[in-house]
Amino acid sequence: MPPRPSGLHPQPGDGWVECTCGRRHWGLHGAAGLLLFRADHQGRATDVVLQHRALWSDQGGTWGLPGGALAPGESPVQGALREAHEEAGIDPGALAVLSTHALDHGPWSYTTVLARSTGRQRPRPTDPESLAISWVRVAEVDDRPLLGAFADAWPSLRARIDGRTDEPSS
């Protein structure tokens, strides 16, 4: 794995947690990511924003969601929106948060924030953590090498975004 580039700004929540599940996870206070989608006129998700992870990162070269470690006292929604803005140029004012989905391991959790695009979004790499940021057709997500945990969660997440454009936040 190539070395982590200089110039990244460390955040107070950055660090690894040795989890009771036997793995280590990024984010001293947990982590969150944004699953942003566009929908057709019937409310079905057509495209999602994916991040092609930098080679120096954990599971580098795979595709997943923009996201990362939560700061102390930051909610998962706040953290996911902050990280998506920092990493992918996502405009938090041009989306509607619909729901959240948490993978809870007790001492550590990862929350996926599901949101529908409500305005113009021009996702792009805005820091060195990404090789690319792209709108990807929902039907083509499985064609990419996915981050392991995202690959496991994708079938359930896909079902949650299909036809759910007016679901309230949870």
The mean of the pLDDT values for the chain is 86
Q: Determine, yes or no, domain membership for 134.
A: yes
Per the CB < 8 A criterion, the answer to whether 57 and 129 are in contact is yes
Tell me if 29 is assigned to some domain: yes
Question: Does 48 reside within a domain?
Answer: yes
Residue 10 lies in a domain: no
Contact 160, 99 (CB under 8 A): yes
Per-residue pLDDT for 84 more than 60? yes
Nearest to 127, CA basis, from 72, 82, 92: 82
Cα distance between residue 22 and residue 120, in whole Å: 41
Residue with the two structure tokens 């006292």: 73
Residue 24 lies in a domain: yes
Q: pLDDT-derived band of residue 4, with 50, 70 and 90 as boundaries?
A: low
Confidence of residue 88 (pLDDT cuts 50, 70, 90): very high
In a domain, 27, yes or no: yes
Find the domain containing 39 and state its range: 16-161
**Tally of domains within the chain:** 1
For residue 148, the domain's CATH number is: 3.90.79.10
Pairing of strands 109-117, 31-39: parallel
